[in-house]
Chains A and B, each alone.
Chain A
Amino acid sequence: MPPSELALSLSVRGLRKAYADVVAVDGIDLEARAGECFGLLGPNGAGKTTTIEICEGLLEPDAGSVELLGLRWETDAAQLRQRLGVQLQETQLSEKLTVEETLRLFRSFYLRGPEVAEVIAMVQLEEKSRARVGQLSGGQRQRLAMACALVGEPDLLFLDEPTTGLDPQARRQLWDLIERFKTAGRTIILTTHYMDEAERLCDRVAIMDHGKIIALGTPRELVAALGADHVVEFAAEGSGVDLGALEGLEGVRKAHAEDGFYSLQVAQLHVAVPALLAELASRGIPLTELRTHSATLEDVFVSLTGRHLRDGD
């Protein structure tokens, strides 16, 4: 085996999984290197959770193979369970147990790992260690779920939508926690439908849609592939806007319309914006809204699918 492949923490080949009415995962290949944070980004229903649950050994794929840390579920399940940390979407831990009792339970399943008190400190729940889970806030519960995933000192950590439903402050706290784990040299596989989360945390991102991977690379590479550093969005009265004409403007790479909003991918703002204003003025179309931002993964997704991430499928 070449040295580069030895360093793979996750290797997925030709993965397929269909449910009665829908193909959830439609033949995907993935690789995550040791020590990297790999993100699966996509809207709800894209097949992220199905993919990650197959990797976690919770679902059987219809076809394809999964190799984790050089091991396979078919032959090495017990060993894998000891070396993986898992945080599932929407698990409710028992509300009647305290934080400490919950972690002691999970700690008892693993052969190695830090002391319970250390894990509690790691997720900054010291003050809540004797509180019942039922009394924790959403962010604290999520950190406890993370602690349950970390308690076996995993080599590979799976996080499924770790910050969904949290307020901005709780999200940032959780991001800090994930970054610290990353610094410790562990591999993380993360799913999210927040592009800012993927940009902040992930070394590499696979963008998923309808069970397929539609783009793969570092967040920087993916954004750069747009060929546009900025996005101009505007709304205008009437229906006289011509997408073809917009794409012909200087500095505009691509134009796109959605729900009465237009968005332009733009290489140079200072050239494109005056050109846009002149074009609209010449047609007598009044502008009702105009804003610009630096291109993000969200724009990559829009450019690839014509939809926004948060629209669902």
Chain B
Amino acid sequence: METKPRSWADRSLVQLTLVRFREFWREREAIFWVFVFPILLAAGLGIAFRNRPAEVLKIGATQTELASALSKGKSLSVSLLDRAAGEQALRTGRIVLLALPGPSGGVTYRYDDTNPDGRTARLLAEQAIQRAAGVRDRVAESDDLVREPGSRYIDFLLPGLLGMNLMGSGIWGLGFAIVDARRKKLLKRLIASPMSRAEYLLSFLLSRLAMLIVEVAVLVGFGALIFGVPLRGPLWQLALVCLLASLAFSALGLLLASRARTIEAVSGLMNFVMLPMWIFSGVFFSAERFPAKLQPFIQALPLTAAINALRANMLEGAGLFHFAGEMAILTAWIAVCFFTALKLFRWR
């Protein structure tokens, strides 16, 4: 019953922030979407688009001489088949090309010219046949292979996924929690107590930032360790980009949640806002593929700014100065969304 000095754990901001963690941690689905899903996605896409050593193409030949000439070719694996078996193998995709004796001692290649493997096999087969017939290169050629980290698809993809993750957890994390509290009249109950409204909103940002550290570490760590995705820029600048991006998306989430009374209403709003960014902001392919007329709109989106800055830092090793524009865009989103959200916020 007495007023005694309170431990730090009993301060309202600490308690509010702890509540955020508990609610998040006890929501199994949220953990999956925030931590596990991006890794699965990165792993899946990383494996699908991995740069493989040039593949050996399987082809068939109906004549022993043809088969032996072709088997000297690079990257070709030749089987000797009779015509019927060869056609059957071609139809079912077990071979991509079938070499047959042609008119007047020539060769006929049966293949599907819409299949890139078929076209490649055609070129390789031709080269092998010509060489077997004694044709020599008139110009000396040699290969210099480029397979360094930083230019592969996974390198391009990972900063995109990181940006998408920051957007999702910022917008969903704040939006659902706030609207749910409003729907349950919990917000109203809280403001009937002496709770500081600023601390309530601050607790969302604090928990967001703490979770951000884990999220970024998990995804970037996974990319770096498993796929060797480069981290060329200074790490503190990468952290700064993530912080700014997360704040921008949190402010946007707060704005979207500032008035909605039902989960359905806020879900609709969030999808409406996030969908264009999933499409245009260059998560999976470069945003520059869209028409020039759309570019001013696309470049102003917070996710585009975040991903461009992340790629500049991680892949190009560019300093802050090089993506100052992106940082300014993110800062503007923070200021505008936060200010508007506070103006509109419905506590009841």
Contacts and interface: CB of A to CB of B under 8 A. Distances in A.
B22 A90 contact: no
A96 B22 contact: yes
Contacts of B322: none
Contacts of B181: 94
B218 interface: no
A131 to B, nearest CB: 13
A104 interface: yes
Interface in B91-106: none
Contact of B186 (A78, A86, A94): A94
Contact of B348 (A58, A84, A109): A58
Given A105-B15, A107-B10, A108-B11, A93 B186 contact: yes
Contacts of A108: 10-12, 14-16
Contacts of A106: 193
A91 B27 contact: no
A96 B181 CA distance: 12
Contacts of A219: none
A104 B188 contact: no
Nearest to B26: A96
Given A78-B194, A96-B23, A96-B26, A153 B1 contact: yes
Nearest to B187: A91
Interface string A50-79: 000000111000000000000000000010
B342 interface: no
Interface residues of A, number: 31
Contact of A105 (B16, B27, B191, B194): B16
Given A88-B189, A114-B1, A82 B22 contact: no
Interface string B178-222: 000100111011011111000000000000000000000000000
A261 interface: no
Interface of A: 56-58, 78, 81-82, 84, 86, 88, 90-94, 96-97, 101, 104-114, 148, 152-153
A78 B193 CA distance: 10
A81 B23 contact: no
B1 A113 contact: yes
B19 interface: yes
B16 A148 contact: no
Interface in B1-39: 1-3, 10-12, 14-16, 18-19, 22-23, 26-27
13 contacts: A82-B194, A88-B185, A88-B189, A92-B185, A93-B189, A94-B19, A94-B181, A96-B22, A105-B12, A105-B19, A108-B11, A112-B2, A113-B1
B12 A109 contact: yes
B256 to A, nearest CB: 21
A108 B185 CA distance: 20
Interface residues of B, number: 27
Contact of B23 (A58, A97, A113): A97
A81 B197 CA distance: 13
Interface of B: 1-3, 10-12, 14-16, 18-19, 22-23, 26-27, 181, 184-186, 188-189, 191-195, 348
A264 B202 CA distance: 62
A94 B23 contact: yes
A58 B192 contact: yes
B184 A92 contact: yes
A88 B2 CA distance: 27
A181 to B, nearest CB: 14
Given A58-B348, A153-B1, A91 B11 contact: no
B15 to A, nearest CB: 4
Given A93-B186, A108-B14, A113-B1, 18 more contacts: A57-B192, A58-B188, A58-B192, A58-B348, A78-B194, A86-B189, A86-B193, A88-B188, A92-B186, A94-B23, A94-B184, A96-B23, A101-B18, A104-B10, A107-B10, A108-B12, A109-B12, A114-B1
A96 B27 contact: yes
A91 B3 contact: no
Given A58-B188, A108-B11, A97 B19 contact: yes
B184 A91 contact: yes
A116 to B, nearest CB: 9
B10 A101 contact: no
A152 B12 CA distance: 13
Nearest to A98: B22
A91 B188 contact: yes
B3 A81 contact: no
Nearest to A58: B192
A153 B348 CA distance: 24
Contacts of A105: 12, 15-16, 18-19
A310 to B, nearest CB: 24
A111 B1 CA distance: 11
Contacts of A91: 184-186, 188-189
Contacts of B2: 112
* Smallest CB-CB A-B distances: 3 pairs: A92-B184, A81-B194, A108-B15
A90 B193 CA distance: 16
A114 B192 CA distance: 19
Contacts of A81: 192-194
A90 B185 contact: yes
A107 B195 CA distance: 10
A97 B192 CA distance: 20
B207 to A, nearest CB: 14
Contacts of A57: 192
Contacts of B186: 91-94
A107 B191 CA distance: 14
